[in-house]
């Protein structure tokens, strides 16, 4: 596959695509039928390959309420978490996804192209790629590891019977339908680019 062409056709800026194309060429060995659906997710999650770490520095309580309505039913409940990414991560990710220790929510926040989140996911993905991501979670910010980990997470979590259904894949990746329209758009671009 000609990754520079594919990535730019999917909306990745040329200079960013030039940096990532060799990484994709070296590590992406998915079935061509699966590639567009993988790209639709990872390009959305990584802001077109410009972000390999989750941004949790929300600047308004209203936005926190919109993103996590069950966690923040009122703007007053969200206010202490505005511009406080570590506190926010420990609240929203603490005591779930294998996070058991104080600070695990922040330590195992989303990283990689697919935003691997939670100690249990870091452990499973690390085992799959032969790296101790639990001990060194920042390794997921390195491009080749970010992609390898995202591919491993995909192979562990996304069954082949959902390929073709962007909404079902999004629920698996995101836990909801955040960014569904953009994910569908990128997937459509990728289907054309890979054809």
Summarize pLDDT for 67-86 with one digit per residue, the tens. Answer: 889 999 999 999 999 999 99
pLDDT band at 148 (very low <50, low <70, confident <90, very high): very high
Average of pLDDT values for 169-179?
A: 92
38-51 burial, b at 16+ Cβ within 10 Å, e below that, comes to: bbbbbbbbbebbee
CB-CB contact of 49 with 12 (8 Å): yes
pLDDT band at 162 (very low <50, low <70, confident <90, very high): very high
pLDDT score of 58: 96
| Residue 119: both structure tokens together | 């100690």
| % of the chain at pLDDT higher than 70 | 100
Rounded to whole angstroms, how far apart are CA atoms 13 and 15? Answer: 6
* pLDDT category of residue 5 using cuts at 50, 70 and 90: very high
How sure is the predictor about 1, in pLDDT bands with cuts at 50, 70 and 90?
confident
Averaged pLDDT, 18-46: 95
**Residues 163, 13 contacting (CB under 8 angstroms):** no
Amino acid 98: pLDDT: 97
Q: How would you write the chain as a 3-class SS string?
A: CCHHHHHHHCCCCHHHHHHHHHHHHHHCCCCCCCHHHHHHHHHHHCCCCCCCECCCCCCCHHHHHHHCCCCCCCHHHHHHHCCCHHHHHHHHHCCCCCCCCCCHHHHCCCECCCCECCHHHHHHHHHHHCCCCCCCHHHHHCHHHHHHHHHHHHHHHCCHHHCCCHHHHHHHHHCCCCCHHHHHHHHHHHHHHHC
Q: What is the pTM of this model?
A: 0.92
Beta bridge partners of 116: 111
Domain boundaries, the chain: 3-52+140-194, 61-107
Report how far residue 64's alpha carbon sits from residue 58's, in angstroms, rounded to the nearest whole number: 7
Cα-based distances in Å from 85 to 43, 90, 98, 139, 142: 23, 9, 20, 20, 21
């Amino acid at each position: 596959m000609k990754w520079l062409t594919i990535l730019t056709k999917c909306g990745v800026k040329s200079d960013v695509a030039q940096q990532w194309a060799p990484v994709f060429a070296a590590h992406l060995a998915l079935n061509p039928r699966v590639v567009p659906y993988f790209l639709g997710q990872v390009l959305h999650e990584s802001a077109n390959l410009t972000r390999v770490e989750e941004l949790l520095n929300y600047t308004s309580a209203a936005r926190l309420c919109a993103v996590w309505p069950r966690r923040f039913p009122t703007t007053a409940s969200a206010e202490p978490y505005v511009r406080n990414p570590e506190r926010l991560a420990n609240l929203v990710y603490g005591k779930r996804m294998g996070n058991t220790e104080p600070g695990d929510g922040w330590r195992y926040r989303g990283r990689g192209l697919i935003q691997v989140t939670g100690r249990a996911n870091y452990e499973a993905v690390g085992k799959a790629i032969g790296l101790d991501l639990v001990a060194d979670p920042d390794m997921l910010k390195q491009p080749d590891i970010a992609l390898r980990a995202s591919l491993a997470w995909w192979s562990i979590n996304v069954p082949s019977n959902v390929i073709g259904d962007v909404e079902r894949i999004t629920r698996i990746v995101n836990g909801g339908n955040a960014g569904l329209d953009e994910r569908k758009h990128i997937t459509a671009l990728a289907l054309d680019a890979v054809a």
